[in-house]
Chains A and B, each alone.
Chain A
């Protein structure tokens, strides 16, 4: 256990949380952070950066200042909604950990999504004439489903170990958090034709 912890400290907290989320969140919970504002913002900003880089790779097959910045700003609604949803869930609990620290710890669990985004951006930027075939789309959706399950487990460990929730409470809070985050995000992304698309999908 001590050797594993020592190895995990040589990689980023995101990798640690991906591979050993229970231990990662238990250990990090005992650590203090400096600067409440920077602690609150650093990982959401990194998420926005990764999203901006992905947009730039897909669009221009490279990273340009305009597309990375614009993409990060445009897609900043994702970390904002996540943070807001987590704040609601945190508010219903015992608040043993500060909100900034809670958000920082929670965003540590985004490793699987970062891997998916980086791989997605690398894949599309390396294809000179990208044609979205049905089979390709299904492969990426299947990978996203795996990531979704993986991040769900990480979130469960976060709520159990970092927020000290019971199992049932942790599941309830995850569902609440994701509902509060995903519904507005989906509306922002595709409300224009959402209802017709759903009708067509289930017809």
Chain B
């Protein structure tokens, strides 16, 4: 049994070594177009604890960086402190710009609202219009999260009048054509800033869906101003672009856009080897781990 235990330890060690040594994707150089700097951003990311997700804030920052994101909005469900912690950590490790944000989750009326760039928690015990007013009162930007049909009743005339942006691309677009069409239909209601977000909890990865944002200054305030001005481009699953028409034309003329995800191709053969060895090592440890001691 000692040999079996040793084998499991060896397999796991080799698995971790292979996964750790797998080549990391190269970071993309900054892109400047028409007086703007073009950033890749994900305005809807969650982190542990309290948000039904698996990764700690430092891992979120590093995974976002790995996937070529320049800015992320870490949104706590009905709270802010985890986002504030994420911003502090990302600054400390040289990670992407983190905008302090909240996902206001309200069951009745039913809506989910991403409040980007706020400093105090927005209450979920109010209408969408009231929540949006609260966000604006703090100088933030209000984004309708995954605005599928079940959420539409909450976005009445008052809410739609003041809403800044809407997610037109979200992972739900890949699993449901119906929800995909519904988000497009919502986006067409009025001129809104186009947003593509991953809504990362555990699966996919930060930046799975993303927003190209054209900023004058690569700062938190610069990003918020670009959101208010609608200076974004989102390319959906069918290659259709949403956002500022002038910026869409600018992006179309530039061969480097949409900015690729440097880690989209996966971890490579070393990563695959790591996965196989790791699963084998765990199974070995479970089935043939140390027998009862005497």
Residues of A in contact with B (beta carbons under 8 Å apart): 9-15, 27-28, 31-34, 46, 50, 53, 55-68, 70-71, 73-75, 111, 114-115, 118, 121-122, 124-126, 128-134, 188-193, 196-197, 199-200, 203
Contacts and interface: CB of A to CB of B under 8 A. Distances in A.
A147 B31 CA distance: 50
A191 B46 CA distance: 13
Interface in B251-294: 266-267, 270-272, 274-275, 277-279, 282-283, 285-294
B134 to A, nearest CB: 17
A199 B272 CA distance: 42
A189 to B, nearest CB: 6
B222 interface: no
Interface in B60-104: 62-63, 76-79, 82, 103
B15 interface: yes
Nearest to B175: A131
A110 to B, nearest CB: 9
Contact of A196 (B51, B59, B124, B278): B124
A111 B286 contact: yes
Contacts of B16: 63-65, 68
B230 interface: no
Contact of A55 (B55, B205, B279, B289): B55
Contacts of A129: 174
14 contacts: A15-B287, A28-B292, A62-B267, A64-B20, A65-B19, A66-B62, A71-B55, A71-B59, A74-B54, A130-B203, A188-B50, A190-B77, A199-B107, A200-B110
A52 to B, nearest CB: 10
A131 B171 contact: yes
A99 to B, nearest CB: 17
Contacts of A131: 171, 174-175, 204
A96 B74 CA distance: 49
B18 interface: yes
B59 A67 contact: yes
B287 to A, nearest CB: 6
Contacts of A126: 275
A188 B275 contact: no
Contact of B63 (A15, A59, A73): A59
A12 B287 CA distance: 5
